[in-house]
Amino acid sequence: MNTNPGTLALKLGMTQLVTPATGEIIPCTVVDVTSVVVGKRTEEKDGYTALIIGLGSRREKVTNKPLKGFFEKNKIEPKQHLREFRCTPEYAATLEIGASMDASALFEKGQFVDVKSVSKGHGFTGVMVRYHFRGAKRSHGAHEVMRHGGSIGTNMTPGRVFKGRKMAGQHGNKVVSVLNQKVAEVLAEDGLVLICGGVPGSKNAIVELRGAVKKNGGKSSE
């Protein structure tokens, strides 16, 4: 388990950094990590240790009674998005309920992180847009099949369409995880983290940000 379990973040958009030494332009995604600890799970009561992180404001009118009671008990303003992040009891003890997550304490420049978010939705699309099929030639005599996917099965054996066949359907709007994204810069005063490359989702998407679990314990090898 990572010492730093991660936090919820808000994707603000993209920008670019210029390296002073070489002048190389690095595209970066800007995420806001100013989330709040709204609750805790303990080994004694729940059988595991975790932090409940909240992000974004929720109107009281649309907050149901169980959630309203939970927030009132912890003296926290209702939050729109809630996620649990498993952690060690020692780490949970360092944060009180109501504490804001500190960008500089969570991440550092050069660290590798894993990001998880819902990708952009493109609606119902065909195989050429969804899976980049080439399509058929628009030659003499061809009709109605230029953007089709072609044959989808075999003969009498097996006599069915295999599962997972690439066909037209919902494009995007799925939970996507991207591993080993490098932190380009941490702006602690603004609560912002700049991540090299793209992050799934559109602007204002909710992103789960964790230290990389498959890359040197989440630290850069440099």
Q: What is the pLDDT of residues 110-157, one digit of tens each?
A: 999 999 999 999 999 999 999 999 998 888 888 888 999 988 887 888
Q: Checking phi first, is residue 51 left (phi over 0); if not, alpha (psi -120 to 50) or beta?
A: beta
Rounded average pLDDT over 2-27 = 90
Split at pLDDT 50, 70, 90, the class of 216 is low
pLDDT of residue 221: 43
Of 170, 168, 199, 173, which is closest to residue 121 (Cα–Cα)?
173
Chain-centroid distance of CA 19 in Å reads 26
Residue 128 Cα distances to 38, 115, 172, 203, angstroms:
45, 28, 14, 26
The pLDDT value recorded for residue 144 is 85
Is the confidence at residue 222, as pLDDT, over 70? no
Per residue in 41-54, pLDDT (tens digit) is 999 999 999 999 99
User: What's the farthest any 2 CA atoms get from each other in the chain?
Assistant: 74
- Separation between Cα atoms, residue 130 and residue 73, nearest integer Å: 47
pLDDT in tens, 2-14: 567 889 999 999 9
pLDDT computed for residue 143 by the predictor: 86
Tens of pLDDT along 69-111? 999 999 999 999 999 999 999 999 999 999 998 888 899 999 9
Task: Say how far apart CA 112 and CA 156 lie, in whole Å.
Answer: 51
- Supply the pLDDT for residue 3: 66
Structure tokens that stand for 35 in this block: 């989330």
Domains and CATH numbers, the chain: 7-109+183-206 (3.30.160.810), 123-171 (no CATH)
Q: Which residue has the higher pLDDT, 197 or 218?
A: 197
SS3 of the chain: helix, strand, coil, percent, to 5: 15, 40, 45
User: Where would I find the H helices in 40-86?
Assistant: 43-46, 65-74
Mean pLDDT of the chain: 91
- Give the whole-angstrom CA distance, residue 114 versus residue 46: 26
Cα of 8 vs its chain's centroid, Å: 9
Q: What tens digit of pLDDT does each residue of 171-185 get?
A: 999 999 999 999 999
On the 0-12 / 13-18 / 19+ scale of CB atoms within 10 A, 185 is middle
Residue 50: predicted pLDDT: 94
Is residue 51 a contact partner of residue 87, using CB atoms and an 8 Å limit?
Answer: yes
